[in-house]
Structure formats: C-alpha cells, structure tokens
Amino acid sequence: MSNPSLLILPGDGIGPEVMAEVRKIIDWFGARRGVTFDVSEDLVGGCAYDAHGTPLADATMAKAQEVDAVLLGAVGGPKYDNLDFSLKPERGLLRLRKEMDLYANLRPAQCFDALADFSSLKKDVVAGLDIMIVRELTSGVYFGEPRGIFEEGNERVGINTQRYTESEIDRVARSAFELAMRRNKKLCSMEKANVMESGVLWREVVTEVGKDYPEVELSHMYADAGAMQLTRWPKQFDVIVTDNLFGDLLSDLAAMLTGSLGMLPSASLGAPMENGRPKALYEPVHGSAPDIAGQGKANPIACILSFAMALRYSFDMGDDATRVEQAVEKVLADGLRTADLLGEEGRAPVSTSEMGDAIVAALDASL
C-alpha cells in the first residue's frame, strides 16, 4: 500500500512557524513509529500571491485534490490589505474549501485540565469538556441567492437568502452521525424551526437520517437556546450539528469556553474519495497573527492538534491521534506555557520551538 499523502500549506505570518513544529511530529512518526507520510509543501495566501500573482496557483489546487489530506497554517497579513478582493490571501483558502467541496466543518471544543482556570467560565463548568461542533460550510445564508444591496422605492435594501436543499442537509447530518458513532453516540441538532422554514426542513431531514443511526441519541434544540445551554452547562453535549450561520457563531462561542485561540484545531471534510477517505483540510482556527509573527511567540498546539485530527479522520490512526493529544496534555500539565497561555501570570513563557520540542519529548516518553 502506498504511504499516506499530505500536502502542507504553511501560508503566512505565524503559519510557517507553527507548521515547522508539526514537521517535527511528522518526522517523529517516521523515526519512531515507522509511519512515513508522503509530504509535499506548497504556497497559499499572501506568499502565493508574491510568488505567482494569485493566492492559490492552479497546480497547488490540483495537488490538493489528489492527496489524502491537506494541512494549512494560516493566511493573510497587513501587507495584502489593499489587494483587490479576488487576490486577497483569504481567497486562496476559500477556493480550496469550495473546489474540494468541504461541507462539514468540525470544530472541537476540548478543555485540557491544566488550562481549566484559563476559561472565562467557572472551572467545574469547563474542566474535562470535550464536545464537537459540526458546522455546514458550503451553503446556507452565506451563499444563497438572491443576495446583494438593491434599490427599492426611495431606499436601499440588503438581501441574503437562507437556502438549504435536502441533500445538503442530509450529507452534513451523516457526517455528524458518523462522528457521534465514534464518540459518545449523542447528537444535538440546532436550528430555528420555530421561525424559519429552512429550519423546519433541517429538523425533518436530520430526523430522517437519524433512522439510519438508531444507536445515536438524537435531540433538537433551537439555536438561541443552544447558545444559552453551551454557556450554562456545555458538558451536556457530545456532537452538535448546525447550519453555516449558527455554526459560525456557536463554534466560536464553544471554542472560547476553552481559553486561547492558540489551542484550537479544526477539520473541514467533504465527500469520500475513491480510497474511502473523505476529502479533508485541517487547519488551526487562529489566523496569521501578524502582531507576533517572526518572534517565536506563537503557540504551535492548535496546528499540532489539527494534525492529530488528520491522523484520526483521514488516516485511521485514532490511537496515534490520542497519543499526540496526550503528549500535549502532558506538557501543559508539566507547566509549559507559550505567552498566550500565561495571562497575567509572572512565569516565563516557552518559545514556539521549545513547545514543539517538549511535545516530541513527551511522545518519546509515551513509547
């Protein structure tokens, strides 16, 4: 069988810095676990614009379609602020998502014990939290037509359209049920069926898909009530599935329960390829953080945990994904902190590469 293939797109700002630490983990798997990835690296975002005049070259797009998984760092930076909309670094990322048709965005909100004090919520509310939000990513109100700002009588009207087909709901619901099957078999679907027809259809289709997953306990909640419940007692949830707009809000809300942006991974999955693996793009939730780029201050954990998600969801290496997550847990429990995890504490932070080295050492110790 051929080696698992991975396209690495470090991107801009702190992207290359955090990706260098992921490279150490990949090398560790080759040296210590006998798992060799076929890794290729390319440009996306501002650096691609600098080299090719476009935020994502066609050849890079083609490569992304061929590999088992894409791992991206971050794109953007002030240098590119004045570029035409179509050339902005973020367009490279949007093109990847669109052409790979990545419709299920997985955003875990997991609270490592050592960081429970860091949350804005009480420690007992977040300690041990481990939930997953599945956001529909390619349809809904961000894409529906008609859209625009139009003249109507003597004033303007701004229009966006919430639109979901049955098949769009069906496929993201299936992704969420599959995930629930691998976790605690609990799925909560969130919409606003009380005031939106698209929500009524959403609820109907999710319920119908649920018949194929009788082991999963399915519940429904209005999205506004869901937001309240997420802050009141988030541990009542396992997997949450919701549309693009509500998912945008709820996944950010859930993520911040756990503390720093530097800790948050994500995955965007599409339809299964010929080899049965889903099309997949993994990336940290944070951006290119131009304010700290090039200073060795970035926390590499979000990107490392994104690679762990790739191990679990693209490469069927769930045990190894857990091994990486436990190594992260171990270094945090040992007290290592990058600057973003220190808050007002007087302790000295570790650098990006020191954090990566410590995680590799914890992996060594796990064997």
Rounded to 5 degrees, what angle do the CA atoms 87, 91, 96 make?
135
151 contacts: CB under 8 Å, gap ≥ 6: 157
Q: State how far the Cα of 156 lies from the Cα of 143, in Å rounded to an integer.
A: 20
Consult the annotation and say whether 296 binds a ligand. Answer: yes
Exactly one of 42, 164, 192, 213 is catalytic; name it.
192
Exactly one of 248, 279, 320, 340 is catalytic; name it.
248
Q: State how far the Cα of 284 lies from the Cα of 39, in Å rounded to an integer.
A: 19
Whether the Cβ atoms of residue 289 and residue 74 lie closer than 8 Å to each other:
yes
331 contacts: CB under 8 Å, gap ≥ 6: 355, 358, 359, 362
Residue 252 CB coordination number (10 Å): 15
Q: State how far the Cα of 206 lies from the Cα of 199, in Å rounded to an integer.
A: 10
Consult the annotation and say whether 98 binds a ligand. Answer: no
With binding defined as CB under 6 A, does residue 22 bind ligand ATP? Answer: no
Question: How far is C-alpha 89 from the geometric centre of its chain's CA atoms?
Answer: 18
Report the site for ligand ATP in 254-293 (rule: CB under 6 A). Answer: 261-262, 286-289, 291-292
Site string for ligand ATP, 210-249 (x = CB under 6 A): ----------------------------------------
Exactly one of 27, 101, 142, 235 is catalytic; name it.
142
Consult the annotation and say whether 6 binds a ligand. Answer: no
Amino acid (one-letter) located at 202: W
The HSE-up count of residue 342 (CA atoms within 13 Å, CB side) is: 16
Question: Is 122 one of the catalytic residues?
Answer: no
Question: Is 50 one of the catalytic residues?
Answer: no
Question: Is 68 one of the catalytic residues?
Answer: no
Interface region with ligand ATP, contact rule CB under 6 A, candidates 114-122, 204-212, 272-280, 294-302:
294-302
With binding defined as CB under 6 A, does residue 76 bind ligand ATP? Answer: yes
Interface region with ligand ATP, contact rule CB under 6 A, candidates 35-43, 178-186, 206-214, 296-304:
296-304
With binding defined as CB under 6 A, does residue 181 bind ligand ATP? Answer: no
Amino acid (one-letter) located at 30: G
Binding-site residue positions for Mg(2+)? 224, 248, 252
Q: Which residues contact ligand ATP by CB under 6 A? A: 14, 76, 261-262, 286-289, 291-292, 298-299, 302, 340
Binding-site residue positions? 77-90, 97, 107, 135, 224, 248, 252, 287-299
| Residues known to be catalytic | 142, 192, 224, 248, 252
